[in-house]
Amino acid sequence: MTHLPPGSPAAAQACPITPVLDLVFSRWTTPILWTLTHLGRQRFVELSRNLGTVSAKVLTQRLRQLERDGLVIRTHHAEVPPRVDYEISELGRTLTPLFAALTDWSEHHLPAVEQARTTFDTTHP
């Protein structure tokens, strides 16, 4: 069997959703998008507080990447002190049905996953 390097064009052809998974499901990206979708426009500190344990450095990196990808809008307000808001973009909003489907799947199937794990762990010490 041939192994395809992650992110290669051949890997994307083998699984056409790979670029979307890399875009949306990298660490902290999904919680950021989820928070902005459900809580609306947030200042950096609010967003950081709502996310919990993310470092300022990582949050800054993820927000810049999401802005670059067109999923988040950054608005700088020329005030003293300076104020910056982040909000989900129209393109980012198109992910809402995907998140809804994943939420639905989680609610219906995570108990079965947890049961399978328990069964596995007890039979494979």
Residue 34 has pLDDT above 60, yes or no: yes
Residue 100 has pLDDT above 60, yes or no: yes
Q: What is the pLDDT of residues 72-90, one digit of tens each?
A: 999 999 989 889 999 999 9
| Amino acid 4: pLDDT | 59
Residue 41 has pLDDT above 70, yes or no: yes
**Are residues 63 and 74 in contact, defined by beta-carbon separation less than 8 angstroms?**
yes
**Residue 61 structure tokens:** 């990196």
Residue 5 has pLDDT above 60, yes or no: yes
What residue ranges do the domains of the chain occupy? 9-94
* Whole-number percent of the chain with pLDDT over 70: 90
| Amino acid 29: pLDDT | 93
| Amino acid 21: pLDDT | 86
Fold of the 9-94 domain: Arc Repressor Mutant, subunit A (1.10.10)
Rounded-to-integer distance, Cα 71 and Cα 92, Å = 4
Cβ-based burial of 92 (10 A; exposed 0-12, middle 13-18, buried ≥19): buried
Closest by Cα among 17, 22, 98, 32 to 71? 32
Residue 114 has pLDDT above 90, yes or no: yes
Rounded-to-integer distance, Cα 112 and Cα 105, Å = 11
